Amino acid sequence: MKLSKNIQSTAKKVLMQEAEAILLVGQAIDSEFEACVEHLLAQSGRIVFTGIGKSAIIAQKIVATMNSTGTPALFMHAADAIHGDLGMIQAGDSVICISKSGDTPEIKVLVPLIKRLGVSLIAMVSNKQSYLGQQADFVLHALAEKEADLMNLAPTTSTTVALALGDALAVCLLECKGFTAQDFAKYHPGGALGKRMYLKVSDIYPQHDFPSIKPTATIKEAIHEISSKRLGATAVVDGDQLLGIVTDGDVRRMLEKQADWSTIQVIDMMNPNPKTIDSEAYATEALAIMQSLNITQLVVMSTKKAVGFVHLHDLLKEGIV
């Protein structure tokens, strides 16, 4: 197999050509694009994306972006549409058909069927004068004069342009709707951003046993409690009252200073001003406190009672950090 000696230059050429094509499409955004966005905002239904070949793959990605940013959308393959999938289109929906040429046989069959349903048809097409472009109610001009390969055959520049234009459409819709980070988290509960927006301290601290000792406990008992619960600290409590906290660092420093520690009690070495956080606070708030104070754990309080610890490692595990 003969290897090209211009791999780097070819890669750069492809990326530059696609970047330039996106810039041209961006410069061509006009009042029709704006009218299309306003139309979609006014519609009560979903956006149905359709296409054939590589355009179908791009359509599926745009559908995913739309759904994750608060615009209900679904995908309908152009070839399957005439074999029953047209039934997914409902009154109030809008159909966006993605096609570079706008003149493929499947598109020419599908377009009149869509128009017969009485829904709006939007073309995302390179050739505005194509059959699809002429029949559409709105045209999103995804201009791609040349593909990136030497033979000008493989869908490359055209699919990149369509994908970028779909992103632009999705972002315009979400901004017009006032879509917030909280809304995004609602649709992404399993992602890191979603967790940052909804995860509370109360979701985390019950994962651990609560290390706690009485103020009259010995140093040996404190070490055992800290080691067995593996949170690097123990709360000092008297009934429901939080008196202080002892960390493994406190124990080490005390041992360095005291030759005889057999009679020392926890109350003699504890920090009487432990840093706390309410159980209903968000995990991000706990992280902010830890970072600002350069500490790794907080005592969790619920109705003025110490109930557990939240540790920096918990936040790392949840992807908050």
Residues 167 and 275 in one domain: no
Residues 106 and 139 in one domain: yes
What would the pLDDT profile of 82-111 be if each residue is shown by its tens digit?
Answer: 888 999 999 999 999 999 999 999 999 999
Is residue 188 included in any domain, yes or no? no
Distance (Å, rounded) from C-alpha 58 to C-alpha 253?
A: 61
> What is the model's pLDDT at position 63?
97
Say how many CA atoms lie within 13 Å of 78 toward its Cβ.
28
Residues 27 and 143 in one domain: yes
Residues 158 and 208 in one domain: no
> What is the model's pLDDT at position 318?
80
Residues 67 and 117 in one domain: yes
Which of 113, 144, 179 is where one domain is finished? 179
Distance (Å, rounded) from C-alpha 17 to C-alpha 148?
A: 7
Residues 102 and 154 in one domain: yes
> What is the model's pLDDT at position 97?
98
Is residue 16 included in any domain, yes or no? yes
Residues 111 and 22 in one domain: yes
Residues 15 and 150 in one domain: yes
Residues 35 and 170 in one domain: yes
Which of 136, 151, 179 is where one domain is finished? 179
> What is the model's pLDDT at position 321?
63
Is residue 309 included in any domain, yes or no? yes
DSSP string, 192-230: HHHHHHH-BGGGTGGGS---EE-TT-BHHHHHHHHHHHT
Is residue 187 included in any domain, yes or no? no
Is residue 130 included in any domain, yes or no? yes
Write the burial class of residue 229 (CB in 10 Å: 0-12 exposed, 13-18 middle, 19+ buried).
Answer: middle
- Are 213 and 236 in contact, with CB atoms under 8 Å apart? yes
Mind listing the pLDDT tens digit of every residue in the chain (321 residues)? Answer: 556 668 889 999 999 999 999 999 999 999 999 999 999 999 999 999 999 999 999 999 999 999 988 899 999 999 999 888 999 999 999 999 999 999 999 999 999 999 999 999 999 999 999 999 999 999 999 999 999 988 888 999 999 999 999 999 999 999 999 887 767 766 666 655 566 667 889 999 999 899 999 999 988 888 899 999 988 899 999 988 999 999 988 888 887 877 677 778 888 889 999 999 999 998 889 999 999 999 999 999 998 899 999 999 988 888 776
Q: Which residue, chain included where needed, has tokens 């067995």?
A: 228
Residues 155 and 209 in one domain: no
Specify the CATH number for the domain of residue 157.
3.40.50.10490
Q: What are phi and psi of 153, to 5 degrees?
A: -120, -45
Specify the CATH number for the domain of residue 273.
3.10.580.10
- Are 123 and 102 in contact, with CB atoms under 8 Å apart? yes
Q: What is the largest CA-CA distance in the chain?
A: 93
Residues 84 and 152 in one domain: yes
Residues 162 and 257 in one domain: no
> What is the model's pLDDT at position 61?
97
Is residue 190 included in any domain, yes or no? no
Task: Provide the number of structural domains found in the chain.
Answer: 2
Domain span at residue 244 reads: 198-318
